[in-house]
Amino acid sequence: MNWAWLLIPATYFLASISFAYWAGRLNGIDLRSHGSGNLGATNAGRVLGIKWFLVVFTCDVLKSLVPIIISWRLVAHGANPYLPMLVAVAALIGHSFTCFHRFKGGKGVATSLGLLIGLTWAVAALSLASWLVAWLLARYVWRMGAAASVSPASLVSAVAVPSARFMTCAHPLATKELPVTVFYILIGALVMYRHRSNIRQLLGHRAAATPAPAGDDGHGQVPLKSP
């Protein structure tokens, strides 16, 4: 089934469609010029409201999940067993580096969730649970805003993905399992990299929250900006 490999470039182009961009256009704005400027579900929700957050988030999950489901069906009919993982790679690259917007896309959290559901539901469940716990802590313990709480939650879930892989796979470094393990580590690394500006802002916020020494006016607090 050599034609099955066509699913990889098809997935890349599908994942390159920015639903956040089109949600903004439907409302007469370009999200790249509003909020955080990011073409992701969080910025869509911040600027357009919770309804559009849910729409964009769901679409971003499905644009990786659906091709992976299709790839598993193809594997059942004789396609290469690594096809689902390669389709997942294409989905993540397409979303994060979309060819339709000068290779500047979203930060990959929702799309990563979709591909994790398609590849290993247990890893997806653990990473989602870690995201939720981190968001609740940021929102109600550290009193961050709802949108601002997404950044630390996403960073925690990025670390949780490879951790969950080692927890749920009996032999994650075995020859057969190693490519998936490496891919999951790279997912976490990519999400961290795409959130590098948020990490700087979180560190700046923490430093600004530290009591200033005598003679220091304490200026320089950096406002939080989530993906």
pLDDT band at 10 (very low <50, low <70, confident <90, very high): very high
Query: Which DSSP string do the residues of 66-77 spell out, in sequence order?
Result: HHHHHHHHHHHT
Least confident range from 78-82, 134-138, 183-187, 197-201: namely 197-201
What average pLDDT does this structure show over 61-73?
97
More confident residue, 217 or 44: 44
pTM of the shown model: 0.85
pLDDT at 125 > cutoff 60: yes
pLDDT at 220 > cutoff 90: no
Closest listed residue to residue 162, CA positions, set 180, 190, 130, 188: 188
More confident residue, 192 or 208: 192
pLDDT at 174 > cutoff 50: yes
pLDDT in the model for residue 223: 46
pLDDT at 71 > cutoff 60: yes
Query: Which DSSP string do the residues of 161-181 spell out, in sequence order?
Result: HHHHHHHH-S-TTSTTTHHHH
Residue 193's CB: how many other CB atoms inside 10 A? 14
pLDDT in the model for residue 163: 96
pLDDT in the model for residue 46: 92
Please state, for a pLDDT cut of 90, what percent of the chain lies above it.
77
pLDDT at 222 > cutoff 70: no
- Report pLDDT digits (tens) over 16-66: 999 999 999 999 999 999 998 999 999 999 999 999 999 999 999 999 999
Residue 186, both tokens: 């790279």
Separation CA 181–CA 46 (nearest Å): 34
For tokens 């290469």, the residue is 80
Using CA atoms, how far residue 157 sits from 145, 179, 194, in Å, is 18, 20, 13
Separation CA 25–CA 45 (nearest Å): 14
Mean pLDDT, rounded, of the chain: 89
pLDDT at 209 > cutoff 60: no
Taking the alpha carbons of 6, 118, 113, 44 in that order, is the dihedral positive or negative?
Answer: positive
Contact 64, 114 (CB under 8 A): yes
pLDDT at 212 > cutoff 70: no
What average pLDDT does this structure show over 83-94?
96
Closest listed residue to residue 189, CA positions, set 159, 210, 164: 159
Residue 164, both tokens: 């969950």
Q: How far is CA 70 from the centre of its chain?
A: 21
Residue 80, both tokens: 């290469």
pLDDT at 9 > cutoff 90: yes
pLDDT in the model for residue 201: 83
